[in-house]
């Protein structure tokens, strides 16, 4: 089981630069079109093009990284807390939060310095919202983890209602449908606030707390999970385009997170951990395990790396913005390898003492 979780962590880490680079790809298609074509911006003429479809598939199919990370956080939280008393659990929570805070503050500050922007509180919390969520789930662990052990059905039902309900509210906003209090509900549930992504943490905690029973259920329903992953994977771009076609503002943006994508993320994560033998060469699985051990560093560093790379291309080589296969290849390569190279350098003496403060 530990090996499968490490492989899942590595897969999710590999997805990160692809997922984030695709967002810059959409910017190049619609917002920066005037850098390589004589058109006003924003320009949505390339909706439906091969580049648009490719970016849309990447954003949807590779969007399970954060859900996978949250599943792993919930799983290990429940697994590690087994048999611990309240005091020990709070000490464990404090240790994990301390490990996250310094890298979080460091990279958030560095990113906004690069952006030459003084952020508001919500912007700062949203920049690395996975870290913000992790800290909140750690703080809530003494409440949520006992529920995962004793009242797990209630926890899953309530978590599903909360997360899917909040996503549905955002769908209504994009579709131009409103009701009294909707704006307040949206403002009270930003992406960095724990209810927005609670379902995957809850599923991970339940699996970790009931590992033997959960794995038996997952193996029994493995085929169903695979079918559900395929069906929801097909529905993701269809749902995205349906919302785009019915939205008064047109394109819903690269950050749109549909209901089918939530289902896909859950199913693909469960398929990976339920597979008795993952169909991949041993050398590849070792690569995923090694990459997964560097997930936090890749997550932290690839955001400013991609911004700098995209900015340089925008100013110095704007024609590349119109050639997505080259543009994406550059961004993905830098988004993955620049953090890995940086980690390998800082891990060596005399800089090695700073590694934990920089990359966690």
pLDDT confidence band for 254 (50 / 70 / 90): confident
What is the reported pTM?
0.91
- What average pLDDT does the chain have? 90
Neighbours of 30 (CB within 10 A): 20
CA nearest neighbour of 64 among 8, 7, 133: 8
- Domain residue limits at 326: 1-38+280-345
Neighbours of 276 (CB within 10 A): 8
Q: Check residue 83 and give its pLDDT.
A: 60
Q: Check residue 277 and give its pLDDT.
A: 62
Neighbours of 124 (CB within 10 A): 18
Compute the average pLDDT of residues 25-54: 93
Q: Of all residues in the chain, what percent carry a pLDDT higher than 70? A: 97
Query: Is 296 inside any structural domain?
Result: yes
Query: Is 315 inside any structural domain?
Result: yes
Compute the average pLDDT of residues 73-101: 80
Q: How many domains does the chain have?
A: 1
pLDDT at residue 21 tops 80: yes
Q: Check residue 129 and give its pLDDT.
A: 93
Classify burial at 13, counting beta carbons within 10 Å of its beta carbon; exposed 0-12, middle 13-18, buried 19 or more.
buried
Query: Is 54 inside any structural domain?
Result: no
Compute the average pLDDT of residues 143-172: 94
Name the DSSP class of 348. Answer: S
Q: Check residue 276 and give its pLDDT.
A: 64
How far apart are alpha carbons 109 and 311 in whole angstroms? 19
Query: Is 183 inside any structural domain?
Result: no
CA nearest neighbour of 266 among 207, 209, 213, 216: 207
- 319 is written with which tokens? 């024609």
Compute the average pLDDT of residues 32-57: 92
22 and 328 Cβ atoms separated by less than 8 Å: yes
Q: Of all residues in the chain, what percent carry a pLDDT higher than 90? A: 65
328 and 21 Cβ atoms separated by less than 8 Å: yes
**Ramachandran assignment for 83, one of left (phi > 0), alpha (psi -120 to 50 degrees), beta (any other):** left
Residues 6+ apart with CB under 8 A from 99: 356, 360
pLDDT at residue 48 tops 90: no
- 63 is written with which tokens? 């969007």
CA nearest neighbour of 80 among 91, 69, 67: 91
Query: Is 339 inside any structural domain?
Result: yes
Radius of gyration of the chain from its Cα atoms, rounded to whole angstroms: 21
How far apart are alpha carbons 252 and 234 in whole angstroms? 19
pLDDT at residue 123 tops 90: no
∠ CA 339-340-342 to the nearest 5 degrees? 65
252 or 265, greater pLDDT? 265
Lowest mean pLDDT among 240-249, 264-273, 295-304, 308-317: 240-249
Classify burial at 86, counting beta carbons within 10 Å of its beta carbon; exposed 0-12, middle 13-18, buried 19 or more.
exposed
pLDDT at residue 79 tops 80: no
How far apart are alpha carbons 208 and 67 in whole angstroms? 15
52 and 241 Cβ atoms separated by less than 8 Å: no
pLDDT at residue 65 tops 90: yes
Query: Is 158 inside any structural domain?
Result: no
pLDDT at residue 120 tops 70: yes
pLDDT at residue 193 tops 90: yes
pLDDT at residue 246 tops 70: yes
- 216 is written with which tokens? 């038996």
Q: At what angle do helices 65-80 and 259-274 cross, to 10 degrees?
A: 50
CA nearest neighbour of 304 among 119, 117, 111: 111
Summarize pLDDT for 260-302 with one digit per residue, the tens: 999 999 999 999 998 866 667 777 788 888 998 899 999 999 9
How far apart are alpha carbons 84 and 90 in whole angstroms? 10
Q: Check residue 46 and give its pLDDT.
A: 92
Query: Is 130 inside any structural domain?
Result: no
Lowest mean pLDDT among 85-89, 251-255, 307-311, 353-357: 85-89
Q: Check residue 278 and give its pLDDT.
A: 61
- 53 is written with which tokens? 């479809």
266 and 224 Cβ atoms separated by less than 8 Å: no
How many CA atoms lie less than 13 Å away from 1 in the CB half-sphere?
16
pLDDT at residue 203 tops 90: yes
Query: Is 193 inside any structural domain?
Result: no
pLDDT confidence band for 168 (50 / 70 / 90): very high
Residues 6+ apart with CB under 8 A from 171: 243, 258, 259
């Amino acid at each position: 089981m530990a090996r499968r979780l490490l492989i899942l962590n590595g897969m999710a880490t590999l997805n990160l630069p692809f997922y984030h680079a695709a967002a810059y790809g959409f910017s190049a298609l619609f917002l920066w079109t005037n850098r390589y074509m004589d058109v006003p911006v924003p320009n949505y003429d390339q909706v439906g093009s091969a580049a648009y479809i490719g970016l849309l598939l990447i954003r949807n199919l590779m969007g399970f990284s954060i859900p996978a990370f949250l599943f792993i956080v919930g799983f290990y939280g429940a697994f590690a807390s087994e048999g611990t008393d309240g005091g020990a659990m709070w000490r464990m929570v404090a240790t994990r939060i301390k490990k996250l805070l310094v890298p979080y503050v460091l990279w958030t500050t560095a990113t906004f310095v690069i952006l030459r922007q003084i952020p508001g509180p919500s912007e700062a919390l949203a920049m690395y919202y996975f870290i913000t969520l992790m800290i909140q789930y750690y703080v809530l662990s003494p409440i949520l983890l006992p529920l995962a052990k004793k009242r797990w059905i209630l926890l899953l039902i309530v978590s599903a209602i909360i997360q899917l309900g909040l996503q549905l509210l955002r769908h209504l906003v994009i579709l131009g449908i409103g009701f009294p209090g909707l704006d307040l509900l949206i403002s009270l549930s930003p992406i960095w606030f724990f209810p927005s992504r609670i379902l995957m943490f809850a599923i991970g905690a339940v699996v970790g707390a009931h590992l033997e029973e959960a794995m038996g259920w997952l193996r029994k329903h493995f085929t169903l999970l695979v079918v559900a992953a395929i069906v929801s994977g097909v529905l993701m771009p269809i749902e995205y385009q349906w919302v785009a076609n019915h939205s008064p503002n047109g394109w819903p943006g690269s950050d749109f997170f549909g209901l089918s994508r939530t289902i896909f993320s859950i199913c693909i994560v469960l398929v990976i951990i339920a597979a008795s033998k993952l169909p991949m060469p041993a050398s590849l699985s070792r690569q995923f395990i090694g990459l997964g051990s560097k997930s936090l560093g890749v997550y932290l560093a690839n955001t400013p790396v991609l911004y700098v790379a995209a900015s340089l291309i925008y100013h110095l080589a704007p024609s590349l913005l119109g050639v997505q296969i080259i543009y994406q290849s550059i961004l993905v390569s830098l988004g993955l390898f620049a953090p890995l190279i940086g980690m390998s350098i800082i891990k060596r003496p005399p800089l090695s003492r700073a590694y934990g403060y920089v990359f966690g």
